[in-house]
Amino acid sequence: MSYSVTESSSRQKWIAGTLVILYAVITLVPLGWIMITGFKTPPDSISYPPKVFFEPSVEGYVNLFTTRTRVSKETLESLPPPTNFAEEIVRNREMVIAGPSKFGQRFMNSVIIGFGSTFLSVFLGTLAAYAFSRFKIPLADDLLFFILSTRMMPPIAVAIPIFLMYRNLGLSDTHLGMILLYTAVNISLAVWLLKGFIDEIPREYEDAALIDGYTRFQAFYKVVLPQAATGIASTAIFCLIFSWNEYAFAVLLTSGTAQTAPPFIPTIIGVGGLDWPAVAAGATLFLIPVMIFTIMLRKHLLRGITFGAVRK
Amino acid sequence: MSEKTVDRVARATPVRIARKIRGFSDRTIAWIFVGPTIFLLLAINIFPLIWTVNLSFTDFKANRINRAVEYVGTRNYERILNDPDVWLSMQATAHFLFWTIFFQVLIGFTLAWLINKKFRGNDLWTTIIVLPMMLSPAVVGNFWTFLYQPQIGLFNYVVAFLTGKDPSSFEMLGSVDLAPWSIVIVDTWMWTPFVMLICLAGMRSIPDYIYEAAEIDRASKLRQFFTITIPMVLPFLMLAVLFRGIENFKMFDLVVQLTGGGPGSTTELASIHLKREAFEKWRTGYSSAIAIILFVTVFGLASIYVKALNKVKER
């Protein structure tokens, strides 16, 4: 076996590994707590000391998706027996299901606005990134810096005039308005990331295609796009995660029809104070897609969060 | 992969070879491709920004549109400079910025250094550690208010367990002394992985032969750490710090959910102060001026950032 000076000894590795795993476990505790709280009953969730072991219940999820009204014992007894498990859980609290909650709709808004703005920003971003990567554009560096600088603006600082502008254009609280807004925020990331990915594709491929009689457009979508597919996919996931998580604009510019989940989840209230299991259930459903995407993205993560500055 | 493309190009050629018209010139295509992006940014970022500049010289109130708007010159700016509330929010922001960056660099760098020991399974654990930073700050902030509950919250319980205090004897979010630290803790929990990832990339970019040469010259491990690892990782660390600096300077969602700026205005960071002025007190003109000051500061940071970024790239 060869000896390497840069390879750590097995004892060092063991210590390093233990410490890192310890940190990882501690860092996961709050997340784990969110998830298990979603399966507690409201009394269990606010018990003292905090309960680690408890009888799991889906009451949080039932409360998340329904609105309920309290009824008297007599009315409760006069009702026909519950037809499903949700009814039964709610009846045990002397309530009846009054209808679906707004959560499903808010979640769908997040999906529509997220995917809409992701599609638009990746579409526009790919075109712009290709142009910046392949053509001589006057003042290209300044333009790129301008594009990046728009991302640096504090959202609240531009929210005032956007609020006024959207009010005049009738775009406030609409899906279209939010899609356009999130596209404008995401496009800087899309251009910067995609430019990096396209820069890595050798020009020779396109040159060959051009010599063989392809037009620029053909060379672009038949040669460059398939090569950039991985880059485009990871850029899209980054844009999606951003739109998904965005809160500042959502809370200021939407209140009803186009409200996304992040401003909605904290407003879930139960009878007598916050309904923590329902909040936790909403948070869990909302956070899990992002966790899955993060794991999918792990190879490009660094690149995405530094706007393509650091590549592995 | 590369062969496939070449093949595909070659296969398609005979059909296309007759085509003489090359379509648009490259220059036209460049503008067609870049144009929409620039237009969108002008419409949704630059136009509002110019509008903000304009508003910052008026006494406009967005909740009273029919009121006559007067230009007040630089009065809004003069007021801001003399407004103790603005200075308080700047102090809160500075406290938040300094301590979050301090802890994130300290813990993030250490973690990266440990992970770089390349123990078995380090990739898996890195991915797990990274999870918090990708999550929605508003939702996470909201949930941490639950963990911080004095009686029932897990955080207080754990602290009480470790220190022997009564878990209801302190309120992380409710007390003037602890609230600024409660937001530092959550931000550190969330963003330490960011600094860690960047430092790790820096450490992995150092070629082995530099350490081998140092070893031949009989430099101690400690000396290698200070003369090779630290200087080589420093540009990456700077980049991480700048990034966190910009992000935390405009911090809004996490903290607004955690404390809403309270108690009183102890955690009222610049963005939260701005939101209160603009959307609760409706002093649109005045808050526009604050927005401009914030923007100029961030823009300054961003310019430094881009220069640093280019330096990192050169390596």
Task: For residue B115, give the CATH number of its domain.
Answer: 1.10.3720.10
State yes or no: pLDDT of A74 exceeds 90: no
Residues of A in contact with B271 (CB under 8 A): 154-156, 248
> B128 and A294: CB-CB below 8 Å?
no
CB within 8 Å of chain B, chain A residues 217-236? 217-218, 222-223, 226-227
Other CB atoms within a 10 A radius of the CB of residue B306 amount to 19
A11 touches chain B (CB under 8 A): no
The whole-angstrom separation of Cα B72 and Cα B82 is 16
Burial class of residue B302 (count of CB atoms within 10 Å of its CB; 0-12, 13-18, 19+): buried
The number of residues making up chain B comes to: 315
Question: Scanning every residue of chain B, which has its alpha carbon at the shortest distance from the alpha carbon of A157?
Answer: B291
Mean pLDDT of A258-277: 78
ipTM for the whole predicted complex goes beyond 0.90: no
More confident residue, A184 or B170: A184
Mean pLDDT of A117-137: 91
Instruction: Tell me the pLDDT tens digit for each residue of B282-305.
Output: 888 888 898 888 888 888 877 777
Q: Across all residues in chain B, what is the average pLDDT?
A: 83
The whole-angstrom separation of Cα B70 and Cα B271 is 26
DSSP annotation of A41: -
Kindly tell me the number of DSSP H helices and DSSP E strands found in chain A. Answer: 17, 2
For residue B129, being part of any structural domain is answered with: yes
| C-beta of residue A240 within 8 angstroms of C-beta of residue B136 | no
Q: Assign B312 a pLDDT band (cuts: 50, 70, 90).
A: low
Residue B152's pLDDT is 81
For residue B301, being part of any structural domain is answered with: yes
| Candidate from A57-61, A213-217, A271-275, A283-287 with smallest mean pLDDT | A271-275
For residue B45, being part of any structural domain is answered with: no
**Domain region containing B179:** 80-314
Residue B189's pLDDT is 94
Instruction: Tell me the pLDDT tens digit for each residue of B234-276.
Output: 888 888 888 888 888 888 888 888 888 878 888 888 888 888 8
| Candidate from A41-45, A66-70, B303-307, B310-314 with smallest mean pLDDT | B310-314
Instruction: Tell me the pLDDT tens digit for each residue of B175-228.
Output: 888 889 999 999 999 999 999 999 998 888 888 888 888 888 888 888 888 888
The CATH class for the domain spanning A104-267 reads: mainly alpha
> A212 and B17: CB-CB below 8 Å?
yes
SS3 A126: helix
Per the rule left: phi > 0, alpha: psi between -120 and 50, beta: everything else, B283 is beta
Residue A6's pLDDT is 67
The number of residues making up chain A comes to: 312
Q: Please tell me which of the candidates A12, A20, A48 has its beta carbon nearest to residue B125.
A: A20
The whole-angstrom separation of Cα A225 and Cα B12 is 16
> B291 and A154: CB-CB below 8 Å?
yes
- Highest mean predicted confidence (pLDDT) among A3-17, A59-73, A116-130, A132-146: A116-130
Instruction: Tell me the pLDDT tens digit for each residue of A273-297.
Output: 678 888 889 889 988 998 898 888 8
> B152 and A279: CB-CB below 8 Å?
no
Residues of B in contact with A212 (CB under 8 A): 9-10, 12-13, 16-17
* Minimal CA separation from B295 to chain A, in Å: 6
Question: Scanning every residue of chain A, which has its alpha carbon at the shortest distance from the alpha carbon of B276?
Answer: A156
Q: CA angle, A126 as apex, A123 and A129 as ends, to 5°?
A: 145
Q: CA angle, A200 as apex, A194 and A204 as ends, to 5°?
A: 120
Question: Scanning every residue of chain A, which has its alpha carbon at the shortest distance from the alpha carbon of B245?
Answer: A152
More confident residue, B164 or B36: B36
SS3 A310: coil
Closest of B272, B303, B65 to residue A155, by C-alpha: B272
Percent of chain A with pLDDT over 90: 19
Please enumerate in sequence order all residues whose Cβ is within 8 A of that of A72, keeping only pairs 6 or more positions apart, or say none: none
* Minimal CA separation from A81 to chain B, in Å: 35
The whole-angstrom separation of Cα A299 and Cα B127 is 10
> A212 and B152: CB-CB below 8 Å?
no
| C-beta of residue B268 within 8 angstroms of C-beta of residue B184 | no
SS3 A144: helix
CB within 8 Å of chain B, chain A residues 252-311? 252, 261-263, 265-266, 274, 276, 279-280, 283, 286-287, 290-291, 293-295, 298, 301-302, 305-307, 309-311
Q: Across all residues in chain A, what is the average pLDDT?
A: 85
pTM exceeding the 0.90 threshold for the entire prediction: no
Residues of B in contact with A181 (CB under 8 A): 44
Q: Count of alpha carbons within 13 Å of A111, Cβ hemisphere only?
A: 9
Question: Scanning every residue of chain B, which has its alpha carbon at the shortest distance from the alpha carbon of A47?
Answer: B152
More confident residue, A110 or A67: A110
Count of domains for chain B: 1
State yes or no: pLDDT of B168 exceeds 90: no
Mean pLDDT of A178-203: 90
Other CB atoms within a 10 A radius of the CB of residue B166 amount to 11
The count of CB pairs under 8 A between chains A and B is 334
> B157 and A50: CB-CB below 8 Å?
yes
Please enumerate in sequence order all residues whose Cβ is within 8 A of that of B279, keeping only pairs 6 or more positions apart, or say none: A159, A163, A252
CB within 8 Å of chain B, chain A residues 35-54? 37, 45-50
Q: Assign A302 a pLDDT band (cuts: 50, 70, 90).
A: confident
Token pair for residue A173? 């609280």
State yes or no: pLDDT of B15 exceeds 60: no
CB within 8 Å of chain B, chain A residues 173-212? 180-181, 183-184, 187-188, 191, 205, 208-209, 212
Mean pLDDT of A51-58: 82
Token pair for residue B32? 């067609």
Residues of A in contact with B121 (CB under 8 A): 17
> A6 and B22: CB-CB below 8 Å?
no
Token pair for residue A52? 């680690």
Token pair for residue B75? 């009065």
Percent of chain B with pLDDT over 90: 13
- Highest mean predicted confidence (pLDDT) among A302-306, B41-45, B106-110, B271-275: B106-110
Q: Assign A19 a pLDDT band (cuts: 50, 70, 90).
A: very high
Exposure letters B221-232 (e unless 16+ CB within 10 A, then b) = eeebeeebbeeb
The whole-angstrom separation of Cα A20 and Cα B111 is 7
For residue B198, being part of any structural domain is answered with: yes
SS3 readout for chain B:
CHHHHHHHHHHHHHHHCCCCCCCCCHHHHHHHHHHHHHHHHHHHHHHHHHHHHHHCCECCCCCCCCCCCCECCCHHHHHHHHCHHHHHHHHHHHHHHHHHHHHHHHHHHHHHHHHCCCCCCHHHHHHHHHHHHHCCHHHHHHHHHHHCCCCCCHHHHHHHHHHCCCCCCCCCCCCCCCHHHHHHHHHHHHHHHHHHHHHHHHHHCCCHHHHHHHHHCCCCHHHHHHHHHHHHHHHHHHHHHHHHHHHHHCCCHHHHHHCCCCCCCCCCCHHHHHHHHHHCCCCHHHHHHHHHHHHHHHHHHHHHHHHHHHHHHHC
Instruction: Tell me the pLDDT tens digit for each residue of B21-31.
Output: 456 777 788 88
The whole-angstrom separation of Cα A223 and Cα A201 is 10
State yes or no: pLDDT of A179 exceeds 90: yes
